[in-house]
Structure 1
Amino acid sequence: MAPLLQSSQPWVEKYRPKQVKDVAHQDEVVRVVTNTLETTNCPHMLFYGPPGTGKTTTALAIAHQLFRPELYKSRVLELNASDDRGINVVRTKIKNFAAAAVGSGRQGGYPCPPYKIIILDEADSMTEDAQNALRRTMETYSKVTRFFFICNYISRIIEPLASRCAKFRFKPLTDEVMSSRISYICREEGLNLDSKALSTLSSISQGDLRQAITYLQGAARLFGSSISSKDLIRVSGVIPGEDVQALFSACKSGNFDLAEKEVGSIIAEGYPVSQMLSQLYDMVVEADDVSDEQKAIICKKFAEADKCLVDGAGEYLQLLGVASNTMRALCNMPQEFSFGN
């Protein structure tokens, strides 16, 4: 294959930390894993936490620091969300890889311990049957294989698997850490990002550094080296605050025709209703002039509408239903109906 051109390389990969010590804002994880690397006595590991906080990066960095490049492919098996990871994959691909014996001994400055590593990214999407099938594989081949599980929700990993692993919790990145990393990338790429745009990028990515870098690269390709706050909002798909406020104000007015007009405008603009629900939720929760009881009623309707959207319901009717029920709650009208599927 031809080498990847610098200009076409995703910045997420270009600026991915290559060593564990370079992972940002996960000091406790870095300290423990660094000690593990020094002894090469690596247990099964479970990395969990919000997306874009360094879980996959840490797992890959451990594998790269343990094995020299020529051995990496034969010693490390990576399975991610694009792979079928049902029970058949566990019984064939994973089991066959885990069963193969390996040598040991330091080679070319790398520890090269006597085991292989299987990295299961987004392990919380594996079926329960597949997870149960992994238990026996982990026990049988524990001398020659280590498993790294990566997930967003540890509650979706069955207890027998979780109890066999050393658990590492990854915290959401702070605005300071996000800003520092984004500023570094801007300097490297020759981008001009003012303080308002930097703050906007941190806000819309919600602690997900991977998402922030993706937005930044998209904006750079579309708008050039000088990027504004509005450019980042357009790239991210976040609905402008004034449009969210307009719908919320229409609901507070008690005028159904006005609310229906705002709903029609949002649908006509092509904004995703799930995104509108998310931003409306933030606005309702932070509103000082809305009582706790009203907030509870409104948020319950948001949850019902979100579930209907996941099940394939129409966006217009769901948003109209949310607007109507929000209006009833804010204006203390009887809650008589809701829009279902």
Structure 2
Amino acid sequence: MSTGTKVTLELPWVEKYRPYKLQDIVGNEETVERLKIIAKDGNMPNMIISGLPGIGKTTSVHCLAHELLGEYYHQATLELNASDDRGIDVVRNKIKQFAQTKIVLPPGRHKIIILDEADSMTPGAQQALRRTMEIYSNSTRFAFACNQSSKIIEPLQSRCAILRYNKLADEEVLARLLEIAKMEEVKYNSEGLQALIFTAEGDMRQAINNLQSTVAGFGFVNDVNVFKIVDQPHPLVIQNILLSCVKDKDLDKAMELLDSLWSKGYSAIDIVTSTFKVAKTIPDINEQTRLDVIKEIGFVHMRILEGVSTYLQLCGMYAKICDI
């Protein structure tokens, strides 16, 4: 039934605020400077950009392509993602076909093939690319974006310039979140922004998505709402558990707080992951104690990942931390 209201399709903020110029990219200044020099000279090499998810690898390649190709960007760029089938057939057909296509470009410019999540390409497909890269080197350049460059075969690595992206600093993520919050007129408090940064761990894409989800779900960005949206245990509760163990040696109090988290439905992996994050910044303990605590968490984390995901593992972990 129509209510007569007009429905407007809103872009996800992560797309709405995606940079289109290299100067707008946040973080990794040294690497981005190298890309700016490439854009200025116009001679792009084949390249591999590696780093963690959500820190701007693919966006950087698109920005570079925009600056190099200008109005020819759409017809002279081919992007293939991990979601596409990228076996040998795709290399032989799609990629080769695009490389063979005649497109009139300004002097010194090349067609660009962007292979996102390149480390999930089959070794056979990577081998098939070797010859294609050499045959069409006069007209086409390849850009591989991947999380681990070691999963790209050696012959391809030797044909490419390798750029590495580091995790974004908390201040860089915060600055971008504040910009978006201002443009979208988001209501927030400082605890809410801290929670977004804590949960994103240097991943800009996740930080922006969590910001939008919290605004859509609750209208106000504070720490409680953010942790509900990302479905992680509140770090203050985890911090209280650790302080009860390390400082007060009060295992009963720690178990009460653990029970409150367990009854809310958090899994063992949620709790142990958050415990590790909080242990790195827990206040007023000496570094040796901190290292011993992290070591215990590491052992339990390993057991949980191997499949022993039980409440008893968590109880044992906190009991051992009490003994430190």
| TM-score scaled by length of structure 1 | 0.79
- Structural mapping, 1:33-182, within 5 Å: 33-69=35-71, 71-105=72-106, 113-182=108-177
Q: Tell me, yes or no, if structure 1 residue 279 matches structure 2 residue 274.
A: yes
Q: 287, 303, 323: which is aligned to 2:314?
A: 323
Q: Distance in 2 between matches of 1:192 and 1:41?
A: 45
Give me the whole-angstrom Cα distance separating, in 2, the residues matched to 1:323 and 1:271. Answer: 12
Q: Find the counterpart in structure 2 of residue 16 from structure 1.
A: 18
Q: Quick one: structure 1 residues 88 and 264, their matched pair in 2 at CA, closer, same or farther if it must change by over 3 Å?
A: farther
Contact 1:48 1:153 in 2 (8 A): yes
Which amino acid is 2:271 matched to? M
Deviation at 1:214, TM superposition (A): 0.6
From the superposition, tell whether residues 84 and 263 of structure 1 become closer, same or farther in structure 2 (CA, over 3 Å). farther
Q: Indicate if the aligned counterparts of 1:63 and 1:117 stay in contact, CA closer than 8 A.
A: yes
Give the corresponding residue for 1:339. Answer: none
- CA contact under 8 A between 1:102 and 1:114: conserved in structure 2? no
CA distance in 2, matches of 1:183, 1:62: 26
Q: Name the residue aligned to 1:234.
A: 228
- The Cα offsets for residues 205-259 of structure 1, whole Å up to 9 and x where unpaired, read as 11111111111111111222x322221221122211254357655897567xx85
- Distance in 1 between residues matched to 2:149 and 2:26, nearest whole Å: 21
Tell me if structure 1 keeps the 8 A contact 2:245–2:319: no
Preserved CA contact (<8 Å) 2:68 2:109 = no
The corresponding residue for 1:203 is 198
CA distance, structure 2, for counterparts of residue 296 and residue 222 of structure 1: 37
Code of the aligned partner of 1:149: F
CA 1:267–1:95 in 2, change beyond 3 Å: closer, same or farther?
A: farther
Aligned counterparts of 2:37 and 2:109: Cα–Cα separation in 1: 18
Contact 1:103/1:114 (8 A) holds in 2: no
What is the CA-CA distance between 1:42 and the residue it aligns to? 0.7
> How much has 1:84 moved relative to structure 2?
1.7
Q: What is the DSSP-based 3-state SS (H/G/I as helix, E as strand, rest coil) of the residue aligned with 2:310?
A: helix
Of 283-292 and 86-95, more deviation after overlay is shown by: 283-292
- Say which is worse superposed, 238-247 or 54-63, in terms of deviation: 238-247
Report how far residue 14 of structure 1 moved: 0.8
Number of aligned pairs? 311
Residue 62 of structure 1, CA deviation:
1.4
Q: 2:177 touches 2:208 (CA, 8 Å); kept in 1?
A: yes
What residue number does 1:337 align with?
none
Matched, 1:185 2:180: yes
> Residue by residue, what CA displacement relative to the aligned partner does 1:94-137 show, whole Å, maximum 9, x if unpaired?
2222232332327xxxxxx5521111111122222222222222
Query: C-alpha displacement at 1:198, in angstroms?
Result: 1.9
Partner letter of residue 301 of structure 1? V
Whole-Å separation in 2 of the counterparts to 1:221 and 1:215? 10
Call closer, same or farther: CA 1:139–1:63 in 2, change over 3 Å.
Answer: same
- The letter for the 2-side match of 1:232 is V
Letter in 2 for 1:151: C
Residue in 2 that maps onto 1:301: 300
Q: TM-score, normalised by structure 2?
A: 0.83
CA distance in 2, matches of 1:161, 1:100: 23
Which secondary structure does the structure 2 equivalent of 1:167 belong to? strand
Amino acid aligned to 2:226: L
| 11-20 vs 127-136, greater mean Cα deviation | 127-136
Give the aligned residue type for 1:274.
I
Superposition RMSD in Å? 2.9
**One-letter code of the match for 2:105?**
S
**Could you say if the C-alpha distance between residues 272 and 63 of structure 1 is closer, same or farther in structure 2, counting changes exceeding 3 Å?**
farther
Distance in 2 of aligned mates of 1:125 and 1:328: 41
Three-state SS of the structure 2 residue aligned to 1:318 is coil
Q: CA deviation at 1:285?
A: 5.1
Using the TM superposition, name which of 202-211 and 268-277 deviates more: 268-277
**Distance in structure 2 (CA, Å) of the matches to 1:41 and 1:208:** 30
Which whole-Å CA distance do the structure 1 matches of 2:291 and 2:9 have between them?
Answer: 51
Query: Do the aligned partners of residues 267 and 91 (structure 1) sit closer, same or farther apart at CA in structure 2, a change above 3 Å counting?
Result: farther
